[in-house]
A and B are shown apart, each in its own frame.
Chain A
Amino acid sequence: MNGTIHTGARGASGTAVAVLWLAAFLACLPVARLVAGGSGETTRRDWSSADFGEIAAAARGTAVRFYMWGGSDSVNAWVDGYVATEMADRFGVEVVRVPMDASVFVNRLLTEKQAGQSRGTIDLVWINGENFRTARQADLLYGPFTQLLPNYRRYVDPATAETDAGFPVEGYEAPWGRAQFNFDVDTARAPDYPTSFAALREWVRDHPGRFTYPQPPDFTGSAFIRQAFYAVTGGHEQYLGGFDADLFARRAPALWEYLNAIEPYLWQGGESYPRDLAALDALFERGAVDFTMSFTQTSAASRIANGRYPPSVESFVMAEGSLFNTHFVAIPFNAPNTAGALVLADFLLSPEAQLSKNRLENWGDFTVLAMDRLPQDVRERFAALDLGDATVSLSELARTAVPEIPSEYWEALERGWDEQVRLR
C-alpha cells in the first residue's frame, strides 16, 4: 500500500505523505484491535492446584498493578511505602498502585470482557459491596483463590468473610481490612454535637449550613443514607433476608422525609452536596462545615497527629448504630499477572502487614485476622496498638456495629435519593 502512494507523489512532499500514511496506519492499529476484540493470548497458567512456593517463584521479578480507590493520602502512602518496599524485599515483586474508583474499573473490566480481551491490564483490585456483586454477576473475577493463600488459611476465620453485603464471597475475594463508619466533629465549633440521627435532625435545623454529606453514590455518602435508613425505619434486621422491593417501597419514604426535612439547613441550603468524601473533608478543613465522616475508625486521630485537623476534633458514632463492613481484594478474570496478584493478596493478610496497616500513623485500618488464631506475641502487639485519643473506644465501636444489608438495597437507596432528594 505504501509503495503505490510513494510513487504517486513526488520529492520531499512524497516522502512526507508516505510518513503521514504510515503514522495514520499505526495510529489506527489500537482502534482496529479494540474493534476486532483484542489479542488472543490464552496461554496462562491455572494456579488452582499450585502450591504457594511455585506461585511465589513465578511472581519473582514481575510487577503487580494494584487498582484501588485513591482518595486517601495516608492509604496511598502506606501502599506506596511499606507494601511496595516489603513486596520488593521479600518476593522481588514490584507493586504499581493505580488510583481508580471501583465503579470505574468494574466498568473497564466489563468492556474488556465484552471485547473478548483475554489479557487485561489490572492484576489486583480493592473492591466490595455492589461493585463485587456486579463483577461476580458478569463473571469478571478470577477464582476461587483464597484457598491458595497460606495467611488466609492460617489466620482468617472464614465465617467472618463469608458474604460481602449479602452476596456470597465463595473465595473470589480475600478480606484485607475492617471498616466502621464514624462521624468526625470539631468540638470547638460544635460542642453540643448530636449523637443520634433523631438529635441530628434538630441540631441541623438549629445550625443552618454547618452539616452536609457527600452526594450518593459516593461510597461514604451512600453509607450515610444507608445508616439513616436503618435509623429512621426501625433497624437493619428486617432487610437482612435479601432484597424485598415491597418492603423497600413501604419503608423508604420515611428516609426521604428525613433527608428532605434537613436539606434546607444543610451546607449551601442543600442546593449542592459535596461530590465526594474528599470534597467534604476539604470543606471540614476549611471550617465551612463542622462535621465530616469516614470509614476509617482512626481517620480523625491520624489527621490530628499529622496536623491536618486541630486537636479539638473527635470521632463519634450514632446511637442507632454504625455501619461495619469488610473490604476485600480480588483478581480480574484477565489479570496479566495472576501469580503476582496472589502473592500480594497473601502479603496483605500477613500479621506484619495487618499490624502495620492498623497503626495510627500509617492508615489505622482494623485487621481481619482472627485473634484466637494468631500467635501470642502478635496478639499482644495488636492489643498494644495506640489508636489515638480522638478514636471511639473499641467497646463502643463493638456495641454500635451494625452490618451491611444486601447491596441491591444500596442501589435502590442511591437511585431513590437521586429522584426523591436531589431532584426534589
Chain B
Amino acid sequence: MSYPRRPLPTAFADRRRVAFRLAPLLVFFAMTVGVGLVHAVLQSLALAGPPALDPARETMSRWYAYHELLTRPDLLRSLGHTVYVAAVSAVGCVALGSVGAYLLWRAPDWVRRAGAVYRLPIILPHIVVAFITVLFWSETGLVASLLRAAGVVRGTAAVPRVLFAGHGVGPILAYVYKGFPFVMLMSLGVLDRVPERLVTTATMLGAGPVRVFGAVVLPLLAPLLNQLFIILFLYALGGFDIPWILGASRPQMIPMTVYALYFQGSLADRSIAMAALVLLAATAGLFVVVYARIARRLSARERPV
C-alpha cells in the first residue's frame, strides 16, 4: 500500500478524510470488540445468554451477578489479588528493564553485543515462560535441586515454597521474566538516540552513574516507561496462560475465576463471570485514565525546570 507523501493533515477537512480512511478499521473494532463488550454487559445483567435452567433464577434481580460479585468476599479478593500481581509485575518489569537498558547502553560494545541474548524471552510465548518458571522454581526444580545438592536443604518438603503459594510470586516471576526484556528493548531504542554529550556534561558536573540515571536518563525515558507500564499492567490483569500454569488455588487470579465460573459453574454463574469481566474492563479503563492524568500532571510540573 502506498500513500502519497505530503505534510500531515491538520485542517478539519483533512482530519475528516483521515477519519474516513480509518473508518473501516474503526467499524471492524466496533463490531468485534464493541459487540463483545456489549454482549458481556448484557449477559452480566441476564438480558442475554442461555435461558436459565434454574427456576429460582427467574425471580432474581437484574443485578444478581454484580450483587454476588461484590458480596462474595472471595471474588473481591480475587480481583484485588490480580490487581496486586499485575501492578507488582509491571513495576518489576519497568524497574529492571530501564536499569538494565541503562547499564547495557553505558557498557562497552562487546558487552552490548553479548548482552543481546536478553531479548530471548521476548520471542517466547507466555505459556513457555510459565513452564520455564516451573522448571526453575518448583519443589523439584533446578533451584531446589541445586540447594539440595549444596546441602542447604534436605528433602522436598524443606524447600521454601516459591510457586503455588498465596503470595503470587510465581506469576510475578513469570511476568517479570517475560516483560523486562521488552522494556529494555524499547528503552535502548530511545537511549540510542540520546546524544552522548548529555551524559558527558552531567559526569563533568560531578554526577555519578546513579545520579546520571535519575537526573538524565529517567526523565528521557519517562514517557515511554509510562506507556510500557500501562501495557504490561493491562496484560497481566487479563492474561490467562500464566495464571493457568502458575496460579494458586487461593487466592485465585480473576481470569481463572472467570473461566471456572463460565465453563465449570452452573448457568447462573455465567452472568457472574460476565460481570467479573465487565468489572475487569472497567478497572482497566479507569486505571488508564487515572494513570495518564497523573503522568501528564507530573510531566507538566517537570517542564519548566
User: Interface of A with B (CB < 8 Å)?
Assistant: 8-9, 11-13, 16-17, 20-21, 23-24, 27-28, 31-32, 35, 101, 103-104, 107, 110-111, 113-114, 134, 137-138, 208-209, 215, 217, 268-269, 271-273, 275, 286-288, 411, 414, 422-423
Contact = CB atoms under 8 A, between A and B. Distances in A.
Interface string B274-291: 000000000000000000
A103 B263 contact: yes
A404 B20 CA distance: 62
A288 B27 contact: no
B262 A28 contact: no
* Chain A binding surface SS class: helix
7 contacts: A9-B20, A31-B32, A31-B35, A138-B50, A217-B260, A268-B161, A411-B266
Contacts of B23: 21
Contacts of A103: 263-264
Interface residues of B, number: 38
A20 to B, nearest CB: 4
A15 B2 CA distance: 10
B53 A27 contact: no
B248 A134 contact: no
Contact of B74 (A101, A288, A423): A423
Given A21-B23, A107-B263, A138-B53, 16 more contacts: A9-B20, A11-B4, A13-B3, A24-B28, A24-B31, A27-B32, A28-B27, A31-B35, A32-B31, A103-B263, A114-B51, A138-B51, A215-B249, A268-B165, A272-B164, A287-B140
Contact of B249 (A17, A208, A272): A272
B117 interface: no
Nearest to B251: A423
A110 B28 CA distance: 27
Contacts of B132: none
Interface of B: 1-4, 20-21, 23-25, 27-28, 31-32, 35, 49-51, 53, 74, 138-140, 156-157, 161, 164-166, 244, 248-250, 260, 262-264, 266-267
Contacts of A16: 1, 3
B239 to A, nearest CB: 16
A410 to B, nearest CB: 11
A21 B24 contact: yes
Given A13-B21, A114-B51, A217-B260, A271 B250 contact: yes
Given A12-B2, A101-B263, A288-B140, A272 B248 contact: yes
Q: Nearest 5 CB-CB pairs, A to B? A: A272-B164, A24-B24, A20-B24, A209-B157, A28-B31
Contacts of A35: 35
A24 B22 CA distance: 11
A269 B162 CA distance: 12
B270 to A, nearest CB: 8
A141 B129 CA distance: 41
Contacts of B49: 114
